[in-house]
Amino acid sequence: MNIRKPTDAELKKVFKLSPEAVFDGTLGEVKPTNEKIEQLVKPLLNKGSYYLIAAEGDKIMGWILLGESKDQFTDKLNGFIYELFVIEEFRGYGISKRLMKTAIDHLKQDGHSEVRLSAFVGNKAIKLYEKMGFNVRTVTMSLPL
């Protein structure tokens, strides 16, 4: 398995599978359309964010979307992980960890001194993030009306 930037054809496949990734990452709360994914991701890609894929031959096993975001209070630019997803049949082989390590290395090379991400409470990936040294920084709460 290698981790690299996707070809244009592979990027189209990632876009096609992204609604499943968002559904999974939000624990079934959000099922976006492909159009919504493009509406969310295209601006990120236009601002320099990019995907890395884990692939073996022509088979995509998973991906990570990384870039930067501005801290709303300090205006400092931080590295940011926008999406991490491993296709179900390839889970349990350490692919998420390898994608995260590679993304963190890329963000460090890009000059970032901090990496942030957001995750839904209950997302199994939180354990991975904590093992890699991530700490809870903010909490978003909601009240259904």
Tally of domains within the chain: 1
- Helix, strand, coil percentages (3-state) for the chain, rounded to 5, are 40, 25, 35
Range of the domain at 106: 2-131
141 falls within a domain:
no
What pLDDT, in 10s, does the model give residues 27-74? 566 677 888 888 888 999 999 999 999 999 889 999 999 999 999 899
46 falls within a domain:
yes
What pLDDT, in 10s, does the model give residues 86-121? 999 999 999 999 999 999 999 999 999 999 999 888
63 falls within a domain:
yes
What pLDDT, in 10s, does the model give residues 115-136? 999 988 888 899 999 999 999 9
pLDDT of residue 27: 59
User: Taking the complete model, does pTM exceed 0.75, yes or no?
Assistant: yes
CA distances from 4 to 13, 24, 38 (A): 15, 23, 21
